[in-house]
Amino acid sequence: MKKSFLLLLLLPCLAVAAFGQESRMEASVSGSVLIPPFVAGSGAVYLHATPGWGTLFSYRYDVTPLSQLELNYSYMQDKEHFSGPAFNYMVSTRINEISFAYVRMFNFRNFNPFVEMGAGAYIFTPIDDTYTTLSISNMKQKTNPGALYGVGFAYELSPSWDLRVEYRGIIMKTPGFGYLPFDTQRYYNVNDPVIGFAYHF
């Protein structure tokens, strides 16, 4: 009777341990290029940003063998060029991303395509450097919510390492830095191709 009771107590622990062995996690680091489109806003304000180069860090947790939850953080810099009938300014900008996504995988031996969809916060901070042609006292750090979608593939280099290539799209409001002349009142789709390596553990 005691042995049966002990076995009954151990069964949940064994089930949790088995689940823990089956679950997999991934951490990846990628090079990222943020490519915003040209935007013609209301009130004759125009926004043309340079490509922003940076780094994307991602963590994925396997919910099932073919579905994952993803947490992202990225850091990059670009230059936002605002122009209108009475002004022409460049703003050197730091961009931070914190986002979450659901990822759906498709397995074909070593080649694993995937799609993803999620949401995040995108933090635009003006930088006071030689490229910025307007006093940053006129501007504020702004956080814009955005929708994230993507398609890509992971190629298995070894049981622990993947090469990951992806196109990500980010839909959000253009950065205005809280400065009224820079407010385009527009949303845009920012292109973000990334390439990097993922480690499974």
Full-model pTM: 0.85
Identify the pLDDT of residue 6: 43
Identify the pLDDT of residue 179: 95
- Looking up tokens 């990334």, which residue turns up? 194
Helix (H/G/I), strand (E/B), else coil: 12: helix
Where is 8: in which H helix or E strand?
Answer: helix 2-22
Q: CB under 8 Å to 61, separation ≥6 — which residues?
A: 23, 25, 68, 69, 70
CB-based contact 118:68 (threshold 8 Å): no
CATH 2.40.160.20 is the classification of domain 23-200: yes
Identify the pLDDT of residue 22: 52
With the CA atoms of 61, 63, 65 and 67 taken in that order, what torsion angle do they form, in degrees rounded to the nearest 10?
-90
Each domain of the chain, given as residue ranges in start order, spans 23-200
Averaged pLDDT, groups of 10, the chain, 201 residues long: 45 42 82 96 92 97 95 97 94 98 94 97 97 95 98 95 98 96 96 97 92
Identify the pLDDT of residue 9: 44
Identify the pLDDT of residue 43: 80
Per-residue tokens: 132: 């910025």
